[in-house]
Amino acid sequence: MTCSGRRPKKGAVSPYITIARFRDLHEAWLAEGKLKSAGVDCILADDNLVRMDWLYANAIGGVKLQVREEDAASAQELLEAEIPAILMDDTAGEIYQQPQCPRCDSFDIGYGPNKAGKILSWLVLGFPLPIPGRKRWNCRDCGAQWIEVPDQPEPDLPTY
Higher pLDDT, 15 or 64: 64
- Indicate if 61 and 36 belong to the same structural domain: yes
Greatest mean pLDDT range, 37-41, 98-102, 147-151? 37-41
Greatest mean pLDDT range, 7-16, 65-74, 124-133? 65-74
Whether 138 is covered by a domain: the verdict is: yes
Give me the pLDDT at residue 1, please.
39
The dihedral through the CA atoms of 50, 56, 62, 65 has a sign that is negative
17 alpha-carbon distance from chain centroid: 21
**Each residue's pLDDT tens digit, 81-133:** 887 777 666 666 677 777 888 889 888 888 876 677 777 878 888 877 777 66
Range of the domain at 64: 16-79
- Indicate if 75 and 93 belong to the same structural domain: no
Maximum distance among all Cα pairs of the chain, rounded to whole angstroms: 84
Structural domain ending residue among the three candidates 32, 53, 79: 79
**Helix crossing, 72-79 with 25-37: angle to 10°?**
120
Whether 157 is covered by a domain: the verdict is: no
Give me the pLDDT at residue 4, please.
42
pLDDT for residue 64 is more than 80: yes
Q: How many domains does the chain have?
A: 2
pTM exceeds cut of 0.85: no
- Indicate if 36 and 74 belong to the same structural domain: yes
The mean of the pLDDT values for the chain is 79
